[in-house]
Amino acid sequence: MAHPPTANPVAAELWRLFRIWAALLVLGGAEFAASYLPLPRSLRPLVILPGALMVAAVAVGFMEVKRGIVLARTFAVAAMFWLLVLLALGSADPLTRTDYRVPNAQVR
Amino acid sequence: MASAVHQDFQYSSPSHQAETAIAGMWLFLTTEVLFFGGLILCWIYARHWNQAGFDAGARETKLWIGTLNLGLLISSSFIYTAGIAFIRVGNTRRLIQCCSLTLLLGLAFLGLKFGLEWHDDFAGHLFPASADFKIAGPEGGGARLFFIFYFISTALHGLHMLIGIGLLIWIIRRARREEFSALYHTPVQVVGLYWSFVDIVWLTLYPLIYLVGRG
């Protein structure tokens, strides 16, 4: 592993893919381990963060979004943008609403 | 057959045709992101109001199967992309080997997910519409919502896996007929994008189903 093959273009590409695969396994392990952290229930979605890095690694490493054509990058960025809009607008209500407890006697 | 360049009349060059096909797949994947985005939004919304029930449901899932499946899909994407590297230098034999191994890993995923995990879930009274649902009490409603999300999301992902497996078989058959070469292998690249996207969907579902509710 100390001397990665670079003379052969296929070997160099396989070496690059192998490193991405290894990084994905490490990130998956980190995500798995993070799920055992004693986080409060409301903060537990933070264990998804290594998963977000894994998604980026697959997109950049295997799907070649950075090396690919400009139009592909545009679609990838648009997908992330509209996904953020969807999730931000959709979750704005539940995440900002204040609940007031009502005694059972007042419930009609 | 198409061992040299591949160009239909409406394109200015073979590379123009290849770029159009790849851009078309990316556009399709953009719509898929929004399709699964709605599912993620459902998870955020339902979990926010039913955190205890969602956690109770997540603790009933088979973590080892989900984690093993994560490894299988990551490895399958790696192997398929290695196949693309081989066909870029015209090595069809290695491409077929990589596609076949990817196919086997995909089938292993489906076997574990639907043959073992879903079977255990149904046997363990975890189907949310069943009268004898396993989780009762104040967490029962939230747990049912969790398992509605679980069954719908894994079924949709499984459907995408099935389509991907069909595409892999199509690529293998065409590769055996020597239709791909170093000069023309656009369908291999396009199917690779789809397969990696299916991997990404599982990378997203895995923590939502198995990890967030544990601990």
**Separation in Å, CA of B17 to nearest CA in chain A:** 12
How close, in Å, is residue B212 to chain A by CA atoms?
Answer: 6
pLDDT in tens, A87-103: 999 999 888 888 787 88
Out of B29, B48, B203, the one facing A51 most closely (by C-beta) is: B203
| Averaged pLDDT for residues B157-177 | 98
Chain-chain contact of A83 with B67 (C-beta, under 8 angstroms): no
Tens digit of each residue's pLDDT (9 = 90 or more) over A63-89? 998 887 899 999 999 999 999 999 999
The SS3 call for residue A14 is: helix
Q: What share of chain B is helix, strand, coil (3-state, %, to 5)?
A: 80, 0, 20
Specify the pLDDT at position B10.
83
Query: Average pLDDT of B10-28?
Result: 90
What average pLDDT does the segment B134-160 reach? Answer: 95
Chain B contact present for A10, CB below 8 A:
yes
Question: Of B35-39, B44-48, B101-105, which range is least confident?
Answer: B44-48
A47: chain B residues, CB-CB within 8 Å: 207, 211-212, 215
Q: Which long-range contacts (CB under 8 A, 24 or more apart) does B200-204 make?
A: B200/A55, B200/A58, B200/A59, B201/B32, B201/B36, B201/B157, B201/B160, B202/B69, B202/B70, B202/B73, B202/B157, B203/A51, B203/A54, B203/A55, B203/A58, B203/B70, B203/B73, B203/B74, B204/A51, B204/A55, B204/B36, B204/B40
* Contacts with B196 from chain A: Cβ below 8 Å: 58-59, 62-63
* pLDDT of residue A2 exceeding 60: no
Chain B residue with CA closest to A47: the answer is B212
Q: Does A83 touch chain B (CB under 8 A)?
A: yes
Q: Is 50 exceeded by the pLDDT of residue B2?
A: no
Q: How far is B207 from chain A (nearest CA, A)?
A: 6
* pTM score of the predicted model: 0.91
Cβ separation B67–A32 shorter than 8 A? yes
Task: Provide the pLDDT confidence category of residue B32 given band limits of 50, 70 and 90.
Answer: very high
A51–B204 C-beta distance less than 8 A:
yes
When pLDDT is cut at 50, 70 and 90, the band that residue B11 belongs to is: confident
Average pLDDT, whole number, for chain A? 88
Per the CB < 8 Å rule, is B212 touching A79?
no
